[in-house]
Structure 1
Amino acid sequence: MKTNFLKRWVVSVCVGLSFGCAVSVANAKDADNYPERPVKILVGFSAGGTTDIIARAMAGELVNVMPGAHFVVDNKPGAGGDIGTADVVRSNPDGYTLLMASVGPLAINPSLKTLKHDPRTDLAPIILVADVPNVLVVHPDRNIKTFEEFLAWAKERRGNLHYASTGTGTSSHLSSHMLSDMMDLDATHVPYKGAEALNDLVAGRTDFMFATIPSVMGQIKSGKLVPIAVSSAKRSRSLPDIPAVAEKGFPDFSAGSWFGLLAPADTPPAVVNLVNEKVNQVLPTLEERLISAGADPAGGSPEDFGKFISAEHDKWAKALTSAGIEKQ
């Protein structure tokens, strides 16, 4: 009996090992001929926005390093990017549906809203494509040109300051809240819908705003707005002469936008690694284009991106609690 039991055990182990080997081989083969048909890159925002621009620029370069490949950018806007994100979560994890997403749906919205998905577990991180710092801007009539001047001016008006944002719970809102909290400014938040915030700031009806660099680059160049500082941990390559808040006595301040590529959870690791390799390969080619648009090329491994998303989730959850924003 012991002999028969041993034989059955050996057979079971061999079968198990064979199955494991078969899975490994299958995973490896998943990337051998990938992609064999068009790959959809879903963007949860409207065409023409920063997420869309970065996705299309990347897709246009990937075909040069993946002969025969075809990438289609598909816009599915709504709910701050959550509708498109949920669509990818439900997609077949075969590598033919990818997601280009930003800080909102990946790191802020899970603590802001009750969602049926969790980006940290229901999506497979591929690569952080670009960092897009927010820039603190003011109206030129305020006669402020440096962060030190802004700080002195803001403290004189403590309790009587109003900052605009593109909506409650957005990176624009939370960046200003974090700054106001750190500097004890007691500033009042004035939420808008999208571009309306920028229009009122340009008209001088609000005092300051954190906006993504691409959204205000035109107003900065035309002199309609004055850049004071960027929200990233270091200076942006798009505005190299503008200091980071972190270098002005607030080393823990880091609050910007970013954009990355993901796939549904359980997408074969071989496919994830292949796409990661190819995006890393084309980022230097995209460098000039991204910087001119206000974005800093990023890159790195899928593991790096996964850790980054988790850290960002925790940071923004804390910011939302500090701002007194309850989960909807």
Structure 2
Amino acid sequence: MFVLAANAFAQSAGNYPDKPIKIIVSFTAGGTTDILAREVANQMSIRWKVPVVVENKPGAAGNLGTEVVGRAAPDGYTLLANSIGPISINPTLFGNLAVNPQKALAPVALLGDVPNILVVPSSLGIKNWKEFLAYAKSHSGNLNYGSTGIGTTAHLISFLFAQKTGLDATHIPYKGAEATRDLVAGRLQFMFATAPSVVPLIKAGQLNAIAVSSKKRISAMPDLPTLNELGVDIATGAWFGLFAPEGTNPAIIKKLNETVVSILEEPAIKQKLLGLGADPIPMNVQEFTKFVRNDYLLWVPVVKASGAKPE
């Protein structure tokens, strides 16, 4: 019986995929997660000659899509494209999730890393890190920073930044793009925002960039220093990945990973993603699994210390 079951298991992996694949996106169409998922899905479909369909399941801060895939059959035909918030932050932020992504999902592949840029309104006249620190210290207790919502990376990176630099700053949560608009208007003093959302405003002279939160400088702004270079121990941002239900055949996960990695390594695809502000970083399954776990552990104390509560 065991031999027959093992043979069937191996055969199912060998024939994969032989029917349409669905990729659930936990956010609305048009966002970074959705864009990356559709690019990868299109390339998968071309290579495997089977339909790879993207379906948006937004809601509950990304938890709805996570729950759908976490409860799906672990056969490799229902996958999840998700980001740092639902995977690394929400398990601590919410505490009582119906489906815990750290337990119910198997990491497949990293799709892209999107850094956050520390930006200030150009009206402040702050051009660099030294000037920013001088301003921050002279306005201690009167600094406001914005975010796209409580518990988002924009909120928590800013909180972590204030903690590590000793800044006395107040968090002002917004719902989406209103935060950037208030920053441009000078109603906020600083903010950490994803590169794609602020690079056009920086180039237009409406915002000034001070530093980037990634481990390395970004190609779109090669002269912009990282926080690590400036002596601030922060090297994180927003990342996006592909997941399968826990219990999915490891051979299927390996095949998915190798396909995604080969897609990301294609020069045309890589340049397209870089143009979107997403840095494709190919990782094998073991590397991505370790990455996901370490990122979750990084944010647990930050979420708790921030006192953030679900909106």
> Above 0.5 in TM-score?
yes
Residue 133 (str. 1) matches residue 115 (str. 2): yes
Quick one: distance in 1 between partners of 2:99 and 2:290? 18
Mapping for residues 170-181 of structure 1, pairs under 5 Å: 170-181=152-163
Quick one: distance in 2 between partners of 1:79 and 1:225? 31
Q: 1:224 aligns with which of 185, 200, 206?
A: 206
Structure 1 residue 222, shift from structure 2 partner: 1.8
Aligned to 1:97: 78
Q: 1:160 aligns with which of 133, 137, 142?
A: 142
Give the letter aligned to residue 35 of structure 1. Answer: P
Higher-Rg structure is 1
Given that 1:280 and 1:300 are in contact with CA atoms closer than 8 Å, whether structure 2 keeps it comes out as yes
Aligned to 2:227: 245
Distance verdict in 2 for CA 1:326–1:166, change over 3 Å: closer
Give the letter aligned to residue 289 of structure 2. Answer: G
Given that 2:150 and 2:310 are in contact with CA atoms closer than 8 Å, whether structure 1 keeps it comes out as no
Quick one: distance in 2 between partners of 1:60 and 1:239? 29
Report the TM-score when normalising by structure 1.
Answer: 0.90
Residue 264 (str. 1) matches residue 262 (str. 2): no
Identity of matched residues, %: 48
Given that 1:238 and 1:295 are in contact with CA atoms closer than 8 Å, whether structure 2 keeps it comes out as no
Report the TM-score when normalising by structure 2.
Answer: 0.95
Corresponding residue SS for 2:302: helix
Quick one: distance in 2 between partners of 1:275 and 1:191? 37
Given that 1:201 and 1:208 are in contact with CA atoms closer than 8 Å, whether structure 2 keeps it comes out as yes
- Residues 41-81 of structure 1: CA distance to partner in whole angstroms, max 9, x if unpaired? 10010000111011111112223332x12211100101111
Quick one: distance in 2 between partners of 1:222 and 1:199? 14
Q: 2:57 aligns with which of 63, 76, 80?
A: 76
Distance verdict in 2 for CA 1:222–1:22, change over 3 Å: farther
Corresponding residue SS for 1:258: strand
Aligned to 1:6: none
Corresponding residue SS for 2:117: strand
Residue 254 (str. 1) matches residue 272 (str. 2): no
Structure 1 residue 33, shift from structure 2 partner: 2.4
Structure 1 residue 306, shift from structure 2 partner: 1.5
Structure 1 residue 118, shift from structure 2 partner: 1.6
Aligned to 1:206: 188
Given that 1:159 and 1:186 are in contact with CA atoms closer than 8 Å, whether structure 2 keeps it comes out as yes
Quick one: distance in 1 between partners of 2:244 and 2:133? 43
Give structure 1 stretches of 5+ with no counterpart.
1-14
Given that 1:132 and 1:296 are in contact with CA atoms closer than 8 Å, whether structure 2 keeps it comes out as yes
Quick one: distance in 2 between partners of 1:60 and 1:148? 45
Structure 1 residue 101, shift from structure 2 partner: 0.4
Quick one: distance in 2 between partners of 1:101 and 1:282? 18
Aligned to 1:148: 130
Aligned to 1:277: 258
Q: In the comparison of the two structures, how many residue pairs are matched? A: 308
Given that 2:117 and 2:193 are in contact with CA atoms closer than 8 Å, whether structure 1 keeps it comes out as yes
Quick one: distance in 2 between partners of 1:48 and 1:134? 19
Given that 1:238 and 1:293 are in contact with CA atoms closer than 8 Å, whether structure 2 keeps it comes out as no
Q: 1:313 aligns with which of 286, 290, 296?
A: 296
Give the letter aligned to residue 316 of structure 1. Answer: W
Quick one: distance in 2 between partners of 1:24 and 1:272? 17
Which has the higher mean CA deviation after the structures are superposed, 300-309 or 106-115? Answer: 300-309
Residue 324 (str. 1) matches residue 303 (str. 2): no
Structure 1 residue 26, shift from structure 2 partner: 2.5
Aligned to 1:304: 287
Corresponding residue SS for 2:221: coil
Which has the higher mean CA deviation after the structures are superposed, 21-30 or 268-277? Answer: 21-30
Give the letter aligned to residue 85 of structure 1. Answer: T
Residue 86 (str. 1) matches residue 86 (str. 2): no
Given that 1:42 and 1:84 are in contact with CA atoms closer than 8 Å, whether structure 2 keeps it comes out as yes
Given that 2:117 and 2:192 are in contact with CA atoms closer than 8 Å, whether structure 1 keeps it comes out as yes
Give the letter aligned to residue 105 of structure 2. Answer: L
- Residues 80-100 of structure 1: CA distance to partner in whole angstroms, max 9, x if unpaired? 110010000111111111000
Quick one: distance in 1 between partners of 2:309 and 2:41? 37
Distance verdict in 2 for CA 1:77–1:326, change over 3 Å: closer
- Residues 220-267 of structure 1: CA distance to partner in whole angstroms, max 9, x if unpaired? 2222212111111222233322111011012x2123110000001111
